[in-house]
């Protein structure tokens, strides 16, 4: 897949990803007109892997690509970061023991003081800190890592900062939610998934870098059968060098349709609706003396539980999912079983969520009546 394979496929992707930088007020450096640029990946896992590889090569002056890893590199993420960060660290030959999981505060956000302490310790041990993943909306509880503080530490200690905003990033289309991105101008790379909360069919992860030359240098290959005049002119983008696979689909087309169909105002309308419905659900949980919230609800994911304990909540989850009427997932927060309700699908309305809450309460009552809460 070279530019000439389908110029439109490449050009539209560049264009639509530049649009999103403007729509979400992301840093200008992520635009193709500057030093950076965006590319569609299949998922946030692959975006994280590309970020790790590029950071690895930059930190070792491209020696790892040539000679392989040697065990000196250390990466950081919060203890609540998505498992894809650990997977990327393993794939890249860094080793999971060299990924430090930094403690979180009472709201499940990374503690920058703990991060700095760990970086200092690793440097004293002769290791090379090279990468930190910060999350805007963790999978488990939608926690927001402090990008500004983490970004300043990554500048101070010369780390690559990757921001994973897989679900929550979309919220930045609405000006009132842009506080979630405070400090993102310090990021080296960033991703969010329109396939999660922007009405776009899977797969579609938008991955941005501030310095595209570093990414390309880390991932490019150029055998004779891929050589061509357009590439050699330097005037076109070959996205094969921005990702793991060589081939690509025309994924920007679906994103273009979504943006053209809803418009910025339409997208804002739905995002606000989803956040408003989730906040309404939050109030219902708070008002019910048998249930409690397990984490703050900054946007559209509610972590909650029945007060009767882990076994009760597991039973509640299983029975609810068996009804076929709704599907909840779970997590563990402070080692307690926690239910998760996410509001973000295209056609979800308050009525659906009200019905889900009624069902949750009625099934809980049924289990209570059997004596499970004793």
Chain residues in the site for a copy of itself (CB under 8 A): 42-46, 49, 53, 56, 64-71, 73, 82-84, 86-87, 90-98, 139-140, 195, 202-203, 219, 221-226, 229, 244-247, 249, 318, 329-332, 340
As measured in angstroms, the least distance from the Cβ of 221 to a copy of itself is 4
Nearest to a copy of itself of 29, 87 (CB atom): 87
Residue pair 342/367 in contact by the 8 Å Cβ criterion: no
- Residue 164 forms beta bridges with which residues? 135, 191
Selection from 202, 274, 242 nearest residue 42 by Cα? 202
As measured in angstroms, the least distance from the Cβ of 155 to a copy of itself is 25
Nearest to a copy of itself of 40, 184 (CB atom): 40
Residue pair 139/165 in contact by the 8 Å Cβ criterion: no
As measured in angstroms, the least distance from the Cβ of 349 to a copy of itself is 23
Burial of 67 (0-12, 13-18, 19+ CB in 10 A): exposed
Nearest to a copy of itself of 82, 212 (CB atom): 82
Nearest to a copy of itself of 71, 309 (CB atom): 71
As measured in angstroms, the least distance from the Cβ of 344 to a copy of itself is 15
> Under 8 Å CB-to-CB from 82, ≥6 apart: which residues?
44, 48, 135, 138, 139, 164, 166
Nearest to a copy of itself of 221, 287 (CB atom): 221
Give the C-alpha separation, 304 to 339, whole Å.
5
Cα angle 353-342-165, degrees, rounded to a multiple of 5: 150
Give the C-alpha separation, 329 to 124, whole Å.
42
Nearest to a copy of itself of 142, 154 (CB atom): 142
As measured in angstroms, the least distance from the Cβ of 93 to a copy of itself is 2
- In total, the chain counts a number of residues equal to 374
Nearest to a copy of itself of 268, 306 (CB atom): 306
As measured in angstroms, the least distance from the Cβ of 317 to a copy of itself is 10
Phi and psi at residue 164, in whole multiples of 5°?
A: -100, 105
SS3 category, 176: helix
As measured in angstroms, the least distance from the Cβ of 372 to a copy of itself is 18
Phi and psi at residue 124, in whole multiples of 5°?
A: -60, -30
Which H or E run includes 103? none
As measured in angstroms, the least distance from the Cβ of 244 to a copy of itself is 6
Q: Token pair for residue 275?
A: 């956040």
- Residue 331 forms beta bridges with which residues? 338
Nearest to a copy of itself of 68, 234 (CB atom): 68
For 182-199, give one letter per residue: b (16+ CB within 10 A) or e. Answer: ebbebbbbbbbbbbbbbb
Helices (H) and strands (E) counted in the chain, each on its own, are 12, 11
């Amino acid at each position: 897949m070279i530019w000439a394979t389908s110029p439109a496929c490449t050009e539209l992707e560049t264009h639509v990803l530049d649009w999103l930088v403007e729509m979400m007020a992301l840093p200008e450096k992520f635009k193709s007109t500057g030093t950076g640029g965006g590319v569609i990946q299949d998922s946030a896992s692959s975006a994280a892997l590309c970020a790790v590889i590029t950071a690895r090569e930059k930190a070792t002056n491209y020696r790892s690509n040539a000679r392989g890893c040697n065990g000196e590199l250390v990466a950081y993420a919060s203890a609540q970061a998505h498992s894809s960060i650990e997977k990327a660290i393993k794939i890249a030959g860094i080793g999971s023991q060299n990924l430090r999981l930094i403690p979180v505060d009472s709201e499940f956000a990374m503690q920058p003081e703990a991060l700095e302490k760990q970086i200092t310790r690793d440097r004293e041990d002769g290791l090379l800190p090279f990468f930190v993943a910060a999350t805007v909306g963790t999978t488990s509880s939608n926690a927001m890592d402090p990008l500004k503080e983490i970004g300043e530490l990554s500048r101070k200690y010369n780390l690559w900062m990757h921001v994973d905003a897989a679900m929550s990033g979309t919220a930045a289309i609405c000006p009132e939610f842009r506080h979630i991105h405070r400090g993102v101008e310090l990021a080296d790379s960033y991703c969010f998934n329109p396939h999660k909360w922007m009405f776009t069919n899977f797969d579609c992860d938008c991955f941005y870098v501030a310095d595209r030359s570093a990414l390309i240098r880390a991932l490019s290959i150029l055998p004779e059968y891929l050589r061509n005049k357009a590439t050699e002119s330097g005037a076109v983008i070959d996205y094969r060098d921005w990702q793991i696979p060589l081939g690509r689909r025309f994924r920007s087309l679906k994103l273009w349709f979504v943006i053209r169909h809803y418009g910025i105002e339409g997208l804002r309308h739905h995002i606000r609706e989803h956040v408003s419905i989730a906040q309404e659900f939050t109030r219902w949980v708070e008002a019910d003396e048998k249930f409690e919230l397990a984490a703050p609800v900054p946007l559209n994911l509610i972590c909650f539980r029945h007060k009767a304990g882990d076994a009760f909540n597991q039973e509640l989850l299983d029975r609810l999912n068996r009804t076929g009427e709704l599907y909840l997932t779970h997590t563990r927060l402070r080692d307690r079983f926690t239910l998760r309700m996410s509001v973000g699908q295209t056609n979800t309305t308050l009525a659906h969520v009200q019905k889900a809450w009624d069902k949750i309460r009625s099934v809980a009552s049924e289990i209570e009546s059997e004596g499970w809460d004793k």
